[in-house]
Amino acid sequence: MQAVLRGLCEDLDIPFQESMLKWEAGPKPVDGVWAPWWYKNVHKSTCFTPAREYPLPLPSSLYDLLEQSLPFYNMLRRKTRRISSITGPPLPTPSLPVPANEKILVWVAGEIVPRDSAKVSVFDSVIQGGDAVWEGLRVYNGKVFKLDKHLDRLFDSAKALAFTNVPTRTEIKGAIYKTLNSNGMFENTHIRLTLTRGKKVTSGMSPAFNLYGCTLIVLAEWKPPIYDNTGGITLVTATTRRNSPNNLDSKIHHNNLLNNILAKVEGNLAKADDAIMLDKDGYVSETNATNIFLVKKGRVATPHADYCLPGITRATVMELVVKENLVLEERRLSLSEFHTADEVWTTGTMGELTPVSCHDRRSRYWGRRSWTSDSAGTNCIQKSDRRTRGAYTHVL
């Protein structure tokens, strides 16, 4: 009680006094006609008698009233002072990387809702078991990069996981366009497009419980590329191995990302930007978040997509390498080949094309700032920067 009163006094800019903690019994001259009712009910509601360990069950007749009242209750509850002697003071509200994203609108299950109201059911499959597929999209100059390619992969992933009642391509595009238009996002935007198996009638693993159809989420944010695409990034080799197709095929772009997250944890602990993941035989697969390329003596090489996701940006770069009449090798690549490469870069929708400046604290590459005009990596990246921006699907 004292902590609450001190907090209120601080908010109201009045001095705290010990006398505030005392209240003599009996009526007061300033009491109004409501006082007896208030005193009587305060004793009931604030538990001057020992509290029940568990609340009484809610009468079923009040369920509809509870459902209608909860949004208002939760709105007021968010305004309360949260001081607890057990859990300690509440965590401070974190600042957002891009403050403008505080007021974004999100598409969830057929509705456009504010950020704080963008939620899915606790019965949704993505909560129950990470049972969902997703795509990352970028918007440039009012157009979505390679949208149909991304949707092709989304539908392939959903088919591989035997999703049913999947929304059509037209419906998904409509949700994307409405979300972008509602937010006024036509540049410098990243979209996290998620399709879950949907809500279940009861908790459990079986897809037989999914009788409501899929849940579509379109989360569009103002988000510049997340890496330093000028100075380059640092990588470290993770001990966590990339999933094998024997276990979970990485060609299914699923939401169960713990394999990647464990590698990212290793990267964070090593104070690197990302982590390289090896396959079960020790060959390089990809990073925890991107595909990877190297250049050695003018030859461009990238790992087979046996263990890694065959990325859309990866495919675009490979097409450009061939168009430039450069030698492209898609094969098994060992870790030492990356340690001794002339150049290394990563590709992905969220980070775009990113040079690697340091790997395992031992290999320093040229970096984009120093690449010469006859460098295979420089030519490929510069041309992909220009050409991929002409390969978008219109938003409007």
Phi, psi for residue 333 in degrees, rounded to 5: -125, 130
Same domain, 252 and 331: yes
Is the per-residue pLDDT at 85 higher than 60? no
Q: Which tokens belong to 241?
A: 């191995």
By percentage, how much of the chain surpasses pLDDT 70? 86
Asked whether residue 87 is domain-assigned, the answer is: no
Same domain, 338 and 242: yes
Asked whether residue 284 is domain-assigned, the answer is: yes
- Mean pLDDT in residue range 319-336: 95
Separation between Cα atoms, residue 206 and residue 194, nearest integer Å: 20
- Residue 163 sits in a domain of what CATH number? 3.30.470.10
Q: Which tokens belong to 182?
A: 């509602």
The model's pLDDT over 280-300, given as tens digits with 9 standing for 90+, comes to: 999 999 999 999 999 999 999
Q: Which pLDDT value is given to residue 35?
A: 80
- Domain range spanning residue 41? 2-77
Phi, psi for residue 133 in degrees, rounded to 5: -125, 160
At what angle are helices 376-387 and 312-323 packed, to 10 degrees?
A: 120
Separation between Cα atoms, residue 101 and residue 115, nearest integer Å: 8
- Mean pLDDT in residue range 220-226: 93
Same domain, 69 and 112: no
For Cα atoms 337, 342, 348, give the angle at the middle one, nearest 5 degrees: 80
Q: Which pLDDT value is given to residue 392?
A: 37
Q: Which pLDDT value is given to residue 10?
A: 83
* N-term to C-term CA, the chain: 57
Q: Lowest-pLDDT range, 25-39, 61-75, 195-209, 290-304?
A: 25-39
Q: Which pLDDT value is given to residue 82?
A: 61
Asked whether residue 84 is domain-assigned, the answer is: no
How sure is the predictor about 371, in pLDDT bands with cuts at 50, 70 and 90?
A: very low
Count of domains observed in the chain? 3
Same domain, 368 and 297: yes
| Global confidence as pTM | 0.80
Q: Which tokens belong to 367?
A: 């970096």
Q: Which tokens belong to 52?
A: 């029940």
Nearest to 289 by CA among 226, 344, 220, 371: 226
Which segment, 29-38, 44-53, 360-369, is predicted with the most confidence on average? 29-38
The model's pLDDT over 116-173, given as tens digits with 9 standing for 90+, comes to: 999 999 999 999 999 999 999 999 999 999 999 999 999 999 999 999 999 999 999 9
Among 180, 203, 222, the domain boundary falls at: 222
392 close to 369: Cβ distance less than 8 angstroms: no
How sure is the predictor about 266, in pLDDT bands with cuts at 50, 70 and 90?
A: very high
Same domain, 53 and 193: no
